[in-house]
Amino acid sequence: MSSQFGQLFRISTFGESHGPAVGVIVDGCPPKLEITREEIQADLDRRRPGQSKITTQRQEADQVEILSGIENNLTTGTPIALIVRNQDQRSRDYDELREKYRPSHADFTYDAKYGLRSVSGGGRASARETIGRVAAGAIAKKLLKNQFNTEVLAWVDQVQHIKANINADHLTLEQIESNIVRCPDQAIAEKMIAHIEEIRKQGDTVGGIVRAIVTGVPAGWGEPVFDKLEADLAKALLSLPASKGFEIGSGFAGILLKGSEHNDPFRSDDQKSVYTTTNHSGGIQGGICNGMPITLSVAFKPVATIVPEQLTVNTDYENTTLTGKGRHDPCVLPRAVPMVEAMIALTLADHALRHKAMV
């Protein structure tokens, strides 16, 4: 089913943007993993709306409730049910959309597939669906850290034409969280924030790139052929709302290099640990981790809801126009950072358990 992700560490998300609640069922998490509600809430706070002047002003506390699967801050090995109740819906903002399709939204395609759609807030196509992913991702991150010493970090690397210069070797969560755009390059972050504010004043939106690095990944995770780890990561990250591009390692820039420049030479240290002197592969070769950090990028398009009038059609396929209403992000990137981390962690937790089951 399209609302499920993973094989052994599996999640199922549920709920709509303007429904009573959204949430997730996490199945396959091993027992006795220590996790508190506050740890899950911390990631949801990074995702929630209304957190700064450059995000949507919809006011949602996004307080998570644990319904099952965790007792006395320990996972029980049974399905974990997490729920967040919606509180600040303004369905009246969507009245005009009952008979009009928003350009570059999922309105028309949902109608084409199902013959109906959730007009208010976009239903399952809304980014509020990612609440379940981020909540489950917090559990996956704790599992990866506790059992494998694997850590996932993501940050905003580019907003439209403004690009940061980040050395990820010693990057910390505190550096990423030090400003509202979540770019650890402080001077560039100020420029990004100013640019997003200017775009918001114009009633428009901008996109950009979120980069990520995963450290402490042991060699051997992943599968050959169709379940290659980079293929599963690509699927996970391209399933996020507004994501339009994926790169791992050198990505598209690798075409500018010759094979002699792009290959990652192997070496071994005194402890007979194998490493590569470069990491153009992004930590994955043949679909399987080689023990080096996994590095990747995700491109996010500009948010589709804008104030300037646009051409569209109504549900009778007659030409008309539409002016955007409601509360929306001028740039999705700051809130996309915990979403990217979550999808990476969920993918790696699943492959970690699959590898453990095989050996």
pLDDT in tens, 86-98: 886 565 666 677 8
Residue 93 is predicted with a pLDDT of 62
Rounded to 5°, the CA angle 4-66-46 comes to 75
Place of tokens 């992700």: 5
Q: pLDDT by residue (tens digit) across 143-168?
A: 999 999 999 999 999 999 999 999 99
Q: Could you give the angle at which helices 333-358 and 130-148 cross, rounded to 10 degrees?
A: 50
Q: pLDDT by residue (tens digit) across 25-78?
A: 999 999 999 999 999 999 999 998 878 888 877 667 889 999 999 999 999 999
DSSP string, 194-238: HHHHHHHHTT----EEEEEEEESPPTT-B-SGGG-HHHHHHHHHH
Q: pLDDT by residue (tens digit) across 95-111?
A: 677 888 989 988 899 88
pLDDT, greater one: 125 or 220 = 220
pTM for the complete prediction?
Answer: 0.95
Q: Domains in the chain, start-ordered, CATH in brackets?
A: 4-358 (3.60.150.10)
**Rounded Cα–Cα distance for residues 94 and 106 (Å):** 14
Residue 270 is predicted with a pLDDT of 80
Residue 19 is predicted with a pLDDT of 85
CA 87, distance to chain mean position in Å, is 23
Maximum Cα interatomic distance, the chain, rounded to a whole number of Å? 72
Residue 177 is predicted with a pLDDT of 96
Contact 348, 139 (CB under 8 A): no
Strand partners, 267: 275
Residue 94 is predicted with a pLDDT of 65
**Rounded Cα–Cα distance for residues 293 and 48 (Å):** 29
